[in-house]
Chain A
């Protein structure tokens, strides 16, 4: 039984066959990524058109291309409110998706994401420390404009909190084999950070408390053009790190020992990835609040659609898909008639939670199953 195919291998038909297979799996990935690009453009335009007031799509396009020179109210609305909001959603979705992907690969754990590993909680703690304790000097990053210095302080605290969380969890994870234990460590860190936040919240005045609660709902509306000069470059740095390390992430698919035996400097890669994920998770948490489930769900959606764990396709797909899902969630949360009633976080949870459930149910077929 075994001899026959082995002999056949040496005939010329087999290599051609393998080449065809190779090509077809790559072409599926190209098609999926192209479709995602189109979908992203469509959702982006829709997000500019749909909100409390409907602006026809041709007018949206006219504003974007600069054809519309008259300063109509719709023009101002799109330029000053909707465009930065949609860009924020796009970048935040991409950032959370990439941070989730990096965590899943680094921890070899399908359920890892900025949330589960305590990154979001760490970032929240950083934000809370600055936001709730520093009086009038620094205000909520998206409540009013107190200049870039205040934003920078909150952002730095958030990134520092995220970095603290990820180093603690990764440090401990080197001592435990079981991936589930690592997630529990992350959750425990999250609870501890949350406890500190609760203490801070308890001692604060109602005005700040209200803003804190609103921040907790999550929102892409807080980043106006002024803040964008801080938000966008930081997110792009984080995304850039992931885009430049796809081959290293691929090597990590087989675990750190194999990666190291194939020539990867594992320690350096770990620090770089942790730094990237901290920046992405921290920045988004600072500017948009703790947004749940995007980090864990988006990489899984992409693996399912692409049919591969190869980061050379997975990283661009995750960036595109992150934008698509975040913009969709934003459209839903801002549908006419429910603004304020349907917080962003509720929408992302409703989208993300089923994905996580599906991953759990099909665990045997997903990535990194033990």
Chain B
């Protein structure tokens, strides 16, 4: 675990002839080898700007970046390519090029003038493709791969540069859910197995909270805090970075929930997965789950089945699926609203739900 990336009083942003727009400043960050850093923040907070500055795609406004202890500005372009591999969001479509040849392009900083692949080059390419578990796809045309598969080969191509640092800008943006989880898992494994320092920006908060060794969290107001996910949760930085009027971060679940008006109270009896899911159904319908309340719905769930009983006031209902529970919950709220408006319809008797 050595320091691979270090920023010292770094300020990033854009400079035009007339103006200087600072996006983030006073950054003192470190990323170590063997560690995966997830860079999180809402759109427009400067995640891409930071990654681009670390990769020297754009210049820093002030301060410095050290790569393996060497100042970023002092590295030649070839040296830089041998230390930092980059993967971008954009879909790169190159027809009539096998996936393997895409990876071979990563040997660019090691080629002589002719661009001929030596045996050593081929060995590194084999290793890189193996490292992303994609050997069985290597001879396919890169256009025929799925987005997730193609992104794996783009990572293999970055690995073929034999860097000590991987910078990835939202590599999961176009991917479906299994591919996202897969790719983040892959990055984590690469960080550990190949002793790489990986910095990856993502919008996948829950995945990042579970998989990152370190979070770089950009909160509104241009503040960046760094720390392990659990420290960040405890310190409230995660909530601060993302909370809005309509969503609230729930630390125990490490997830966000939509803030809605409470339409009733419910007590869930039972345990195991089914009880948790029953509570989720009721929450979605606007009930607050409590342990005690005078006019609460009392929901009892069987342990191994989805059959449920509801007691409210004097009436009893039962059913055998969460679908019917949701239907009942909706009907009860509807009935309650009607009663509130002094309508003649009454709540309790109307439900005959027996699915």
* Pairwise interchain contact A247-B135, C-beta atoms closer than 8 A: no
**Which listed residue, B84, B108, B130, touches A251 by the CB 8 Å rule?**
B108
* Pairwise interchain contact A18-B98, C-beta atoms closer than 8 A: no
CA A18 to CA B91, docked complex, whole Å = 26
Residues of B within 8 A of A9 (CB): 130, 133, 135-136
Q: A9-B135, A21-B138 are in contact. Are A369 and B105 (CB under 8 A)?
A: no
In the complex, which residues 290-333 of chain A have their Cβ closer than 8 Å to any Cβ of chain B?
303, 306-310, 312
A99 contacts the other chain (CB 8 A): no
A261 contacts the other chain (CB 8 A): yes
Encode contact with B along A220-256: 1 for CB under 8 Å, 0 otherwise.
Answer: 0000000000000000000000001011001101110
In the complex, which residues 42-61 of chain B have their Cβ closer than 8 Å to any Cβ of chain A?
55, 57
**Which listed residue, A8, A18, A308, A369, touches B101 by the CB 8 Å rule?**
A308
Which of A57-65, A279-287, A360-368 contacts the other chain?
Answer: A360-368
**Which listed residue, B77, B91, B96, B136, touches A265 by the CB 8 Å rule?**
B77
**Which listed residue, A14, A255, A265, A366, touches B92 by the CB 8 Å rule?**
A255
Find the B residue at minimum CB distance from A265.
Answer: B77
B46 to chain A, nearest CB (A): 18
B296 to chain A, nearest CB (A): 46
CA A247 to CA B86, docked complex, whole Å = 19
Q: A253-B105, A263-B77 are in contact. Are A309 and B97 (CB under 8 A)?
A: yes
B95 contacts the other chain (CB 8 A): yes
CA A255 to CA B139, docked complex, whole Å = 22
Main secondary structure, interface of B, reads mixed
**Which listed residue, A14, A260, A264, A368, touches B93 by the CB 8 Å rule?**
A368
Q: A9-B130, A260-B57 are in contact. Are A254 and B95 (CB under 8 A)?
A: no
CA A15 to CA B96, docked complex, whole Å = 23
Main secondary structure, interface of A, reads helix
B111 contacts the other chain (CB 8 A): yes
A67 contacts the other chain (CB 8 A): no
B85 contacts the other chain (CB 8 A): yes
A23 to chain B, nearest CB (A): 11
B155 contacts the other chain (CB 8 A): no
* Pairwise interchain contact A308-B84, C-beta atoms closer than 8 A: no
**Which listed residue, B80, B94, B126, B136, touches A263 by the CB 8 Å rule?**
B80
CA A117 to CA B109, docked complex, whole Å = 31
* Pairwise interchain contact B84-A365, C-beta atoms closer than 8 A: no
* Pairwise interchain contact A261-B98, C-beta atoms closer than 8 A: no
A230 to chain B, nearest CB (A): 29
Residues of A within 8 A of B85 (CB): 261
**Which listed residue, A15, A255, A262, A306, touches B90 by the CB 8 Å rule?**
A255
B135 to chain A, nearest CB (A): 5
**Which listed residue, B135, B138, B143, touches A365 by the CB 8 Å rule?**
B143
**Which listed residue, A5, A14, A261, A303, touches B96 by the CB 8 Å rule?**
A303
* Pairwise interchain contact A257-B115, C-beta atoms closer than 8 A: no
A175 contacts the other chain (CB 8 A): no
- Given contacts A18-B126, A18-B138, A308-B97, 14 further A-B pairs with CB under 8 A are A5-B136, A14-B136, A22-B139, A246-B115, A251-B108, A254-B92, A254-B102, A257-B57, A309-B96, A364-B143, A365-B96, A366-B95, A368-B95, A369-B143
Interface CB pairs A-B, < 8 A, 11: A5-B136, A14-B136, A25-B98, A250-B105, A253-B105, A258-B92, A261-B84, A261-B85, A309-B95, A367-B96, A370-B93
